[in-house]
Amino acid sequence: MTATTSPASTRIVAKKRAGDLWFSGTAVAAGSMIMITLAAVAIFLIVQSIPAFTATAEDASLLKTSFWDYVGPLLFGTVWAAFLALLLAVPLSLGVALFITHYAPRRLAQGLGYVVDLLAAVPSVVFGLWGILVLAPAVQPIYVWLNTNASWIPLFSGVVSPTGRTILTAAMVLAVMVVPIITAICREIFLQTPRLHEEAALALGATRWEMVRMAVLPFGRSGIVSASMLGLGRALGETMAVAMVLSVSKAVTFELLTSTNPSTIAANIALTFPEAYQVNINILIATGLILFVVTFAVNALARWFVNRRKEFSGAN
Protein backbone atom coordinates (compact mmCIF):
# COMPACT_ATOMS: atom_id res chain seq x y z
CA MET A 1 0.00 0.00 0.00
CA THR A 2 1.55 3.25 -1.12
CA ALA A 3 1.27 6.33 1.05
CA THR A 4 -0.33 9.30 -0.59
CA THR A 5 1.00 12.74 0.11
CA SER A 6 -1.26 15.74 0.42
CA PRO A 7 -0.66 18.83 -1.74
CA ALA A 8 0.30 20.76 1.37
CA SER A 9 3.16 18.37 2.14
CA THR A 10 4.62 18.73 -1.35
CA ARG A 11 4.71 22.51 -1.26
CA ILE A 12 7.74 23.80 -3.12
CA VAL A 13 9.76 26.46 -1.34
CA ALA A 14 11.34 28.88 -3.77
CA LYS A 15 15.01 29.50 -3.20
CA LYS A 16 15.86 33.15 -2.82
CA ARG A 17 18.55 34.27 -5.18
CA ALA A 18 21.41 36.51 -4.15
CA GLY A 19 20.34 39.19 -6.62
CA ASP A 20 16.84 39.32 -5.14
CA LEU A 21 18.25 39.62 -1.63
CA TRP A 22 20.59 42.43 -2.63
CA PHE A 23 17.86 44.28 -4.50
CA SER A 24 15.29 44.03 -1.70
CA GLY A 25 17.87 45.06 0.89
CA THR A 26 18.95 48.05 -1.19
CA ALA A 27 15.36 49.14 -1.75
CA VAL A 28 14.55 48.91 1.97
CA ALA A 29 17.72 50.82 2.85
CA ALA A 30 16.95 53.57 0.33
CA GLY A 31 13.41 53.95 1.62
CA SER A 32 14.62 53.99 5.21
CA MET A 33 17.21 56.67 4.47
CA ILE A 34 14.42 59.06 3.43
CA MET A 35 12.69 58.66 6.78
CA ILE A 36 15.97 58.85 8.69
CA THR A 37 17.02 62.01 6.87
CA LEU A 38 13.63 63.64 7.42
CA ALA A 39 13.71 62.74 11.12
CA ALA A 40 17.27 64.03 11.46
CA VAL A 41 16.35 67.36 9.87
CA ALA A 42 13.29 67.70 12.10
CA ILE A 43 15.26 66.89 15.26
CA PHE A 44 18.02 69.35 14.33
CA LEU A 45 15.52 72.15 13.67
CA ILE A 46 13.59 71.51 16.89
CA VAL A 47 16.69 71.31 19.12
CA GLN A 48 18.31 74.40 17.62
CA SER A 49 15.04 76.37 17.72
CA ILE A 50 14.30 75.94 21.42
CA PRO A 51 16.38 79.01 22.55
CA ALA A 52 14.59 81.21 19.99
CA PHE A 53 11.10 80.65 21.41
CA THR A 54 12.06 82.18 24.77
CA ALA A 55 14.44 84.86 23.45
CA THR A 56 13.75 88.54 24.07
CA ALA A 57 14.86 91.76 22.42
CA GLU A 58 17.70 92.03 24.94
CA ASP A 59 19.01 88.61 23.89
CA ALA A 60 18.93 89.07 20.11
CA SER A 61 19.37 92.05 17.82
CA LEU A 62 16.87 90.61 15.32
CA LEU A 63 13.96 90.87 17.73
CA LYS A 64 11.99 94.00 18.56
CA THR A 65 9.67 92.33 21.06
CA SER A 66 9.26 88.54 20.79
CA PHE A 67 10.02 85.74 18.35
CA TRP A 68 6.41 85.43 17.17
CA ASP A 69 6.27 89.14 16.35
CA TYR A 70 9.40 88.61 14.26
CA VAL A 71 8.24 85.52 12.39
CA GLY A 72 4.68 86.73 11.79
CA PRO A 73 5.43 89.13 8.89
CA LEU A 74 7.86 86.61 7.39
CA LEU A 75 5.28 83.84 7.48
CA PHE A 76 2.69 86.15 5.94
CA GLY A 77 5.08 87.14 3.14
CA THR A 78 5.96 83.51 2.43
CA VAL A 79 2.35 82.38 2.15
CA TRP A 80 1.24 85.52 0.28
CA ALA A 81 3.99 85.31 -2.36
CA ALA A 82 3.46 81.57 -2.86
CA PHE A 83 -0.32 82.03 -3.13
CA LEU A 84 0.09 84.75 -5.77
CA ALA A 85 2.57 82.60 -7.68
CA LEU A 86 0.19 79.63 -7.63
CA LEU A 87 -2.68 81.85 -8.73
CA LEU A 88 -0.67 82.83 -11.80
CA ALA A 89 1.00 79.50 -12.51
CA VAL A 90 -1.86 76.98 -12.31
CA PRO A 91 -4.05 78.38 -15.14
CA LEU A 92 -0.99 78.89 -17.35
CA SER A 93 0.28 75.37 -16.63
CA LEU A 94 -3.10 73.80 -17.34
CA GLY A 95 -3.35 75.69 -20.62
CA VAL A 96 0.13 74.64 -21.72
CA ALA A 97 -0.46 71.01 -20.70
CA LEU A 98 -3.79 70.86 -22.55
CA PHE A 99 -2.27 72.48 -25.62
CA ILE A 100 0.58 69.96 -25.69
CA THR A 101 -1.65 66.92 -25.17
CA HIS A 102 -4.84 67.75 -27.10
CA TYR A 103 -4.36 70.68 -29.47
CA ALA A 104 -0.80 70.99 -30.78
CA PRO A 105 0.50 68.94 -33.72
CA ARG A 106 2.73 66.04 -32.72
CA ARG A 107 6.06 67.65 -33.70
CA LEU A 108 5.18 70.97 -32.09
CA ALA A 109 3.97 69.21 -28.96
CA GLN A 110 7.24 67.29 -28.61
CA GLY A 111 9.37 70.39 -29.06
CA LEU A 112 7.27 72.45 -26.67
CA GLY A 113 7.39 69.64 -24.10
CA TYR A 114 11.19 69.61 -24.27
CA VAL A 115 11.32 73.38 -23.82
CA VAL A 116 9.03 73.26 -20.78
CA ASP A 117 11.12 70.48 -19.23
CA LEU A 118 14.32 72.46 -19.82
CA LEU A 119 12.88 75.44 -17.93
CA ALA A 120 12.97 73.33 -14.76
CA ALA A 121 16.76 73.07 -15.09
CA VAL A 122 17.37 76.84 -15.14
CA PRO A 123 19.07 77.95 -11.88
CA SER A 124 17.09 80.21 -9.58
CA VAL A 125 19.84 82.84 -9.75
CA VAL A 126 19.20 83.20 -13.48
CA PHE A 127 15.51 83.71 -12.81
CA GLY A 128 16.44 86.32 -10.21
CA LEU A 129 18.64 88.22 -12.66
CA TRP A 130 15.90 88.05 -15.28
CA GLY A 131 13.41 89.38 -12.76
CA ILE A 132 15.61 92.35 -11.83
CA LEU A 133 16.93 93.33 -15.25
CA VAL A 134 14.04 92.42 -17.56
CA LEU A 135 10.74 91.76 -15.80
CA ALA A 136 10.74 94.52 -13.18
CA PRO A 137 11.44 97.40 -15.64
CA ALA A 138 8.93 95.92 -18.11
CA VAL A 139 6.02 95.69 -15.67
CA GLN A 140 6.64 99.00 -13.86
CA PRO A 141 4.64 101.06 -16.43
CA ILE A 142 1.83 98.51 -16.13
CA TYR A 143 1.88 99.01 -12.36
CA VAL A 144 1.56 102.79 -12.87
CA TRP A 145 -1.43 102.25 -15.17
CA LEU A 146 -3.10 99.90 -12.69
CA ASN A 147 -2.54 102.34 -9.86
CA THR A 148 -3.95 105.21 -11.90
CA ASN A 149 -7.03 103.41 -13.20
CA ALA A 150 -7.75 100.76 -10.59
CA SER A 151 -6.50 102.23 -7.30
CA TRP A 152 -10.01 101.76 -5.90
CA ILE A 153 -9.02 98.10 -5.56
CA PRO A 154 -6.97 97.80 -2.32
CA LEU A 155 -4.44 95.50 -4.00
CA PHE A 156 -3.47 98.24 -6.48
CA SER A 157 -3.47 101.21 -4.11
CA GLY A 158 -0.52 103.02 -2.54
CA VAL A 159 2.59 104.63 -4.02
CA VAL A 160 3.91 102.64 -6.98
CA SER A 161 7.47 101.35 -6.69
CA PRO A 162 9.76 103.21 -9.11
CA THR A 163 11.86 100.08 -9.66
CA GLY A 164 9.07 97.54 -10.15
CA ARG A 165 10.61 95.24 -7.52
CA THR A 166 7.40 94.40 -5.69
CA ILE A 167 5.75 91.34 -4.22
CA LEU A 168 3.80 90.92 -7.46
CA THR A 169 7.00 90.85 -9.50
CA ALA A 170 8.47 88.26 -7.16
CA ALA A 171 5.28 86.22 -7.53
CA MET A 172 5.60 86.37 -11.32
CA VAL A 173 9.16 85.07 -11.11
CA LEU A 174 8.03 82.27 -8.78
CA ALA A 175 5.18 81.45 -11.16
CA VAL A 176 7.59 81.06 -14.07
CA MET A 177 9.74 78.80 -11.90
CA VAL A 178 6.91 76.46 -10.88
CA VAL A 179 5.17 76.33 -14.28
CA PRO A 180 7.50 73.56 -15.62
CA ILE A 181 6.79 71.36 -12.58
CA ILE A 182 3.01 71.72 -12.72
CA THR A 183 2.93 71.47 -16.52
CA ALA A 184 5.02 68.28 -16.66
CA ILE A 185 2.83 66.47 -14.12
CA CYS A 186 -0.46 67.67 -15.65
CA ARG A 187 0.75 66.68 -19.11
CA GLU A 188 1.43 63.10 -17.99
CA ILE A 189 -1.93 62.94 -16.19
CA PHE A 190 -3.85 64.20 -19.24
CA LEU A 191 -2.12 61.65 -21.47
CA GLN A 192 -3.42 58.86 -19.22
CA THR A 193 -7.06 59.82 -19.77
CA PRO A 194 -8.87 56.73 -21.17
CA ARG A 195 -9.12 57.07 -24.92
CA LEU A 196 -12.61 55.57 -24.93
CA HIS A 197 -13.88 58.38 -22.68
CA GLU A 198 -12.59 61.02 -25.06
CA GLU A 199 -13.96 59.24 -28.15
CA ALA A 200 -17.33 58.71 -26.48
CA ALA A 201 -17.64 62.42 -25.70
CA LEU A 202 -16.73 63.36 -29.27
CA ALA A 203 -19.14 60.75 -30.68
CA LEU A 204 -21.98 62.33 -28.70
CA GLY A 205 -21.36 65.62 -30.47
CA ALA A 206 -19.18 67.39 -27.93
CA THR A 207 -16.65 69.92 -29.11
CA ARG A 208 -13.00 69.44 -28.22
CA TRP A 209 -13.25 71.85 -25.29
CA GLU A 210 -16.42 70.14 -24.05
CA MET A 211 -14.62 66.80 -24.30
CA VAL A 212 -11.72 68.21 -22.27
CA ARG A 213 -14.10 69.66 -19.69
CA MET A 214 -16.18 66.48 -19.34
CA ALA A 215 -13.54 63.75 -19.71
CA VAL A 216 -9.99 65.03 -19.28
CA LEU A 217 -10.23 67.52 -16.42
CA PRO A 218 -12.40 65.33 -14.11
CA PHE A 219 -10.07 62.38 -14.68
CA GLY A 220 -6.98 64.44 -13.83
CA ARG A 221 -8.41 66.43 -10.91
CA SER A 222 -6.40 64.69 -8.22
CA GLY A 223 -3.26 64.92 -10.35
CA ILE A 224 -3.83 68.65 -10.87
CA VAL A 225 -4.09 69.13 -7.10
CA SER A 226 -0.92 67.11 -6.54
CA ALA A 227 0.96 69.11 -9.16
CA SER A 228 -0.28 72.39 -7.70
CA MET A 229 0.79 71.43 -4.19
CA LEU A 230 4.19 70.34 -5.46
CA GLY A 231 4.58 73.71 -7.17
CA LEU A 232 3.40 75.43 -4.00
CA GLY A 233 6.09 73.62 -2.02
CA ARG A 234 8.69 74.89 -4.49
CA ALA A 235 7.34 78.43 -4.23
CA LEU A 236 7.30 78.34 -0.42
CA GLY A 237 10.95 77.33 -0.21
CA GLU A 238 12.43 79.41 -3.03
CA THR A 239 15.26 81.60 -1.78
CA MET A 240 17.59 83.32 -4.22
CA ALA A 241 15.11 84.53 -6.82
CA VAL A 242 12.90 86.16 -4.18
CA ALA A 243 15.87 87.61 -2.30
CA MET A 244 17.19 89.19 -5.50
CA VAL A 245 13.90 90.52 -6.89
CA LEU A 246 11.99 91.64 -3.82
CA SER A 247 12.50 95.07 -2.31
CA VAL A 248 12.01 94.14 1.34
CA SER A 249 10.60 96.27 4.15
CA LYS A 250 9.15 93.41 6.28
CA ALA A 251 5.70 94.99 6.44
CA VAL A 252 2.40 93.12 6.56
CA THR A 253 0.44 94.54 3.64
CA PHE A 254 -1.67 93.23 0.78
CA GLU A 255 -0.65 96.03 -1.60
CA LEU A 256 1.01 94.56 -4.69
CA LEU A 257 2.59 97.57 -6.39
CA THR A 258 4.44 99.45 -3.65
CA SER A 259 7.97 99.30 -2.27
CA THR A 260 6.54 98.26 1.11
CA ASN A 261 6.75 94.49 0.73
CA PRO A 262 6.75 91.60 3.18
CA SER A 263 9.77 89.35 3.05
CA THR A 264 9.74 85.55 2.93
CA ILE A 265 11.27 83.17 5.43
CA ALA A 266 13.74 81.63 2.97
CA ALA A 267 14.89 84.98 1.59
CA ASN A 268 15.25 86.42 5.08
CA ILE A 269 17.45 83.51 6.16
CA ALA A 270 19.68 83.90 3.10
CA LEU A 271 20.08 87.65 3.59
CA THR A 272 20.47 87.66 7.39
CA PHE A 273 22.38 84.47 8.22
CA PRO A 274 25.90 85.67 7.22
CA GLU A 275 25.76 88.40 9.88
CA ALA A 276 23.90 86.42 12.54
CA TYR A 277 25.52 85.34 15.80
CA GLN A 278 24.59 83.56 19.04
CA VAL A 279 20.81 83.57 19.64
CA ASN A 280 20.20 85.24 16.27
CA ILE A 281 21.29 82.02 14.58
CA ASN A 282 18.76 80.05 16.63
CA ILE A 283 16.06 82.53 15.64
CA LEU A 284 16.78 82.04 11.95
CA ILE A 285 16.80 78.27 12.41
CA ALA A 286 13.45 78.56 14.20
CA THR A 287 11.99 80.41 11.21
CA GLY A 288 13.28 77.54 9.10
CA LEU A 289 11.40 75.16 11.38
CA ILE A 290 8.21 77.16 10.79
CA LEU A 291 8.77 76.90 7.03
CA PHE A 292 9.43 73.17 7.40
CA VAL A 293 6.12 72.69 9.25
CA VAL A 294 4.16 74.76 6.71
CA THR A 295 5.62 72.85 3.76
CA PHE A 296 4.98 69.51 5.47
CA ALA A 297 1.38 70.52 6.21
CA VAL A 298 0.80 71.57 2.59
CA ASN A 299 2.07 68.25 1.25
CA ALA A 300 0.09 66.28 3.84
CA LEU A 301 -3.07 68.15 2.87
CA ALA A 302 -2.45 67.40 -0.80
CA ARG A 303 -1.88 63.71 -0.04
CA TRP A 304 -5.12 63.59 1.97
CA PHE A 305 -7.05 65.20 -0.87
CA VAL A 306 -5.63 62.78 -3.46
CA ASN A 307 -6.39 59.72 -1.31
CA ARG A 308 -9.90 60.98 -0.67
CA ARG A 309 -10.48 61.40 -4.41
CA LYS A 310 -9.23 57.83 -5.00
CA GLU A 311 -11.57 56.45 -2.36
CA PHE A 312 -14.48 58.43 -3.76
CA SER A 313 -13.73 57.23 -7.30
CA GLY A 314 -13.43 53.65 -6.10
CA ALA A 315 -16.75 53.85 -4.26
CA ASN A 316 -18.47 55.07 -7.42
CB 258 within 8 A of CB 158: yes
Instruction: Please tell me the predicted confidence (pLDDT) of residue 11.
Output: 57
CB 76 within 8 A of CB 160: no
User: How far apart are the two ends of the chain, measured CA to CA in Å?
Assistant: 59
CB 253 within 8 A of CB 115: no
User: How many whole angstroms separate alpha carbon 310 and alpha carbon 297?
Assistant: 20
Residue type, 174: L
Per-residue pLDDT of the chain (316 residues; tens, 9 = 90+): 455 555 555 555 556 677 777 888 888 888 889 889 989 999 999 998 888 888 877 777 788 888 888 888 888 988 999 999 999 999 999 999 999 888 888 888 888 888 888 888 888 889 989 999 999 999 999 999 998 888 888 888 888 888 888 899 999 999 999 999 899 888 888 888 888 888 888 888 888 888 888 888 888 888 888 888 888 888 888 888 888 888 777 778 888 888 888 888 888 888 888 888 888 888 899 999 999 998 888 888 877 776 776 555 555 5
The pTM (predicted TM-score) of the whole model is 0.83
Instruction: Please tell me the predicted confidence (pLDDT) of residue 206.
Output: 81
Angstrom CA distances, 9 to 2, 3, 13, stand at 16, 12, 11
CB 82 within 8 A of CB 236: yes
Measure the CA angle with vertex 34, ends 32 and 35; round to 5°: 70
User: How many whole angstroms separate alpha carbon 135 and alpha carbon 161?
Assistant: 14
